[in-house]
Chain A
Amino acid sequence: MDVKVKALSKTKQLTGLLDAQDQALVAAIQSGLPLCSRPYAEIGARIAMDEDEVIQRLQRMLQGKVIKRMGVVVKHHELGYRANAMVVWDIPDERVSKLGSSMGQFDFVTLCYQRPRRLPIWPYNLFCMIHGQDKGEVHHNIETLIERCKLDNVSHDVLFSKRRFKQRGARYHRLKPDGDTG
């Protein structure tokens, strides 16, 4: 338990940046913008916030990097990217920051996180997600990473996805019962 709590301690600092109004806005927008002429006004109407304020708060969250991006979230699989692999690496601690930053810049890498090792059962500390139209393309992309980031001596493992049991956007905040449940 202690390990989990410690590993999560970062969360609180970041959540502290958002006031109650921001958190209500996150809850109202997390399932997506409605398709209508004034989507931000409609999001605001759900939480009694006017359009101007919705826009200002979202811009602030984008600048503060709480929002990584605003835009269309596509479904890779349905668009023909049938293969995805989580590639995990055992990188010496002193190199993880530099290598993580390099790997995170390749356009075929869609996630790149440092996570804790769980020795002895789990030695890997850097996780990338790589999508491709087929397994061959994913393997080719991994080869590219190894070559360009000089990872020949780094042990890694490739975990291709098989069945997708569930996939949807993250929901961080439960909406109040009188709010929109979408």
Chain B
Amino acid sequence: MHGHNTDVLLDDPLKRRLLNDFQHGFPISPTPYKDIGEQLGISEVEVLSLLATLQDDGFISRIGAVFRANSVGASMLAAMAVPEDDLDRVAQIISAYDEVNHNYEREHHYNLWFVVTAEDDAHLQNVLLDMEKCTACPVLFLPMLHDYHIDLGFELKWT
């Protein structure tokens, strides 16, 4: 996923505003893209076209709702300490689960970190136990107890 050229964004103030100014407070109205266009002084068609380009270029993951963890289903942060020479194999097994949405290698003795989400606790438990069985690696379970972050998106700096 390297090689994204952020220079194209520096030259385009509209793209920068679309990425930065609508991470929260996106209109929940019948015509949200038209409303955004009015704020930016451009047409609905132009908003849709710019957003499609940003999505195609890989700068936008999606436009929509960010749900509070564990408010609409069950999720779990999990970690494994995997021997270095076995990491590719184990990572591949974990990524293949449809219930996994993040899976990262991190610089630590616990080197594989992933998030599992499911519609309820029972399904989540089954997936986690299945993972332990399939990888033969014990899993460190780290469920969220409290969320202290007020999510307003992420202020992008253009340097």
B is bound to A: yes
Q: Are A166 and B100 in contact (CB under 8 A)?
A: yes
A146 contacts the other chain (Cβ, under 8 Å)? no
CB distance from B74 to the nearest CB of A (A): 5
- Nearest CB of B to A30, in Å: 7
Residue ID in chain A nearest B29 by CB atoms: A55
Check B140–A122 contact: CB distance below 8 A. yes
Number of interface residues of B (CB under 8 A): 91
A174 to B73, CA, bound (A): 11
In contact, A32 and B63 (Cβ under 8 angstroms): yes
Output the nearest chain B residue to A99 by Cβ-Cβ distance: B148
The interface on chain A, measured as residues whose beta carbon lies within 8 A of the other chain's beta carbons, has a size of 89
Do B6 and A40 touch across chains, with their CB atoms under 8 A apart?
no
Question: Is A116 at the interface (CB under 8 A from chain B)?
Answer: yes
Could you tell me if A62 and B124 are in contact, using CB atoms closer than 8 angstroms? no
**B146 on the interface (CB 8 Å rule)?**
yes
Q: Does A76 contact B (CB under 8 A)?
A: yes
Binding site for B on A (CB under 8 A): 1, 3-5, 7-8, 10-12, 14-15, 17-18, 23, 26, 29-33, 35-41, 51, 55, 58-59, 61-62, 65-80, 86, 96-97, 100-101, 103-105, 107, 109-116, 118, 121-122, 127, 131, 133, 157, 159-174
Which A-B residue pairs are the 8 nearest by beta carbons? A172-B73, A32-B62, A100-B148, A104-B148, A71-B26, A69-B24, A114-B146, A104-B149
